[in-house]
Amino acid sequence: MIPTLWLASYPKSGNTWFRILVANLWSNGDKPVDINQIDSTDTIASGRNPFDQSLLIDSTLLTMDEIDRLRPAAYAFAAGERPLADTGLPIRFVKTHDAYTLTDWGEPLMAGARGAAGALLFVRDPRDVAASFAHHMRCSIDAAIDFMAREDFCFDSATDRIDRQFRQRLLGWSGFAESWLDQQDVPVHLVRYEDMLADTFAIMRAALAFAGVEADPTRLDRAIAFASIDELQRQEAASGFREAPRQVRSFFRRGAAGGWRDELTSKQIARVERDHGAMMGRLGYNRSTR
């Protein structure tokens, strides 16, 4: 049976970059993988179509709470309670922006150990997340900082339309990380975006080792070169990126660490550090000295 691992992240924290790195590693081709043909991972956990196909249910007839009660069963089913097609891949990675929460029936939304063997938790300095999230959401940085501080902020929670994804509770930037770090159902391997930038080879190799995969050094070096920010921006400029939100100018924006120093005002920096100082310290992010 192919093991399942969650790729859990607050938005704009390196999840997509990891998936593209893995796609290039798995393909072992002589040119970069098309960013619109990433077959290294399953679709996002909150996707409506896989849920409907797994449970043979029309989810448009259900309330959000009813869907949440059934999501654990869908994840357990996908993780091994049915035969999986032979993809040729050693790991089934599944992206999620859902915090680790319980349904109103008291069951882990992500199905605990039945849903996955573990999780890679991607985190990024919240000051950098603020600027990138604002771009992603097409809102001001101040509004993005507000969203990041709200425990009740959700993706796809509108009641006046049917979205392609289900409601995703984020619990705020600090709450998201805390929910995954403190749960006791599945092991978690922490991946900091800044560390991935500084030493992509070592961080990728460690993450894959956690998943039970020994990466060939030559193939990994090639995958890293094929997933450079310049290459991702080139492909997006030429063909677009289908995972990007509508009307967003570019998904692959800067691919840097520390950009908050010239993108956020002193007041905005202070707000982020006030809202998330405790979790920043826990994750090794120092407060501003300016």
Average pLDDT of 228-251?
82
**What are the pLDDT digits (tens) for 39-49?**
766 789 999 99
**What are the pLDDT digits (tens) for 113-159?**
999 999 999 999 999 999 989 988 889 999 999 999 999 999 999 88
Q: Do the Cβ atoms of 17 and 255 come closer than 8 Å?
A: yes
Strand residue runs (E) in 111-161: 118-123, 154-155
Domains of the chain and CATH, by start: 4-124+165-250 (3.40.50.300)
**Is 21 buried (19+), middle (13-18) or exposed (0-12) by CB count in 10 A?**
buried
Using DSSP bridges, classify how beta strands 168-169 and 154-155 pair: parallel, antiparallel or unpaired.
antiparallel
**What are 95's strand-pairing partners?**
7
**What are the pLDDT digits (tens) for 190-204?**
999 999 999 999 999
What percentage of the chain exceeds 70 in pLDDT? Answer: 94
Q: What pLDDT, on a 0 to 100 scale, did the predictor assign at position 183?
A: 98
| Number of Cβ within a 10 Å radius of residue 218 | 9
**pLDDT greater than 70 at residue 50:** yes
**Is 199 buried (19+), middle (13-18) or exposed (0-12) by CB count in 10 A?**
exposed
**What are 165's strand-pairing partners?**
47
Q: What pLDDT, on a 0 to 100 scale, did the predictor assign at position 244?
A: 72
| Number of Cβ within a 10 Å radius of residue 222 | 18
Query: For residue 267, what are its two tokens?
Result: 């007041």
**pLDDT greater than 70 at residue 169:** yes
Task: Report yes or no on whether pTM surpasses 0.85.
Answer: yes
Q: What pLDDT, on a 0 to 100 scale, did the predictor assign at position 83?
A: 44
**pLDDT greater than 60 at residue 84:** no
